[in-house]
Amino acid sequence: MQALVRAASEPNAMTASPEQMPDAIAAASTHKPSKYWAIFSVMFLLVLVLGVAAPIALLIWQSAATTAAVRGGSAGAFVSATASQGGFLSTPLTNVQTTLGSVVVQGAFSAPRGRALAVEELNKTGLHLCAVGDLETCLPLAGQWAGELTATPQAAGAFDFVGHGLSRDNLDRWLGAGLMVAFIALLGVIAGAVPRILA
């Protein structure tokens, strides 16, 4: 009984004295996540979802969707084509002469003389010069088209990615920017976590 009373009257070794409290609080505060670590963590998660996962999902959807011409207009009949050599990083261009004028396309284009041509706006990749009725012959225009384009019957059943600003080029740029920002945010998360690990 006397031993229990003596043990109760002695100071507990596990209880910090008033003099030790500031040191204990300071030691505990060093293990709290910093404000910058929290900011970069939230930024990394947001960019991962909105800047990486979202464009990847849209690219998968675009790849699975059917390619269709949503708008089109006559470009006349094929007359001749003159190709120009592309540079080291640039695509060769072809100046296609038709009965209605000329159209410059990216890549090499050829067709039988008199073959009917059309400028088609594809739902995924924008303006192309095509042989009428054959989307396999389409090549992208190297600029805008000044002629009139009207909606096609296929427009009702196809999602217009280009019309909504979701062309392949735009999605690739979106994904590239998202990966770059995600990498920067990840560096911020790592930089904020190192002091906590070493503490």
Task: Tell me how far apart the alpha carbons of residues 111 and 129 are, in angstroms, rounded to a whole number.
Answer: 11
Structure pTM? 0.69
Residue 147: φ, ψ to 5° = -80, 175
Task: Tell me how far apart the alpha carbons of residues 34 and 21 are, in angstroms, rounded to a whole number.
Answer: 22
Higher pLDDT, 133 or 180: 180
85 alpha carbon, distance to own chain's centre: 31
pLDDT tens string 49-59: 999 999 999 99
pLDDT class of 122 with cuts at 50, 70, 90:
very high
Angle between helices 168-198 and 35-47 (to 10 degrees): 150
Our CA dihedral for 92, 97, 101, 107, rounded to 10 degrees, sits at -20
pLDDT tens string 94-114: 999 999 999 999 999 989 999
pLDDT tens string 51-86: 999 999 999 999 999 899 999 999 999 999 998 876
Q: Tell me the residue type at 8.
A: A
Supply 158's token pair. Answer: 């196809």
Helices assigned H by DSSP within 48-167 = 54-64
Given a contact cutoff of 8 angstroms between Cβ atoms, the answer to whether 52 and 179 are in contact is yes
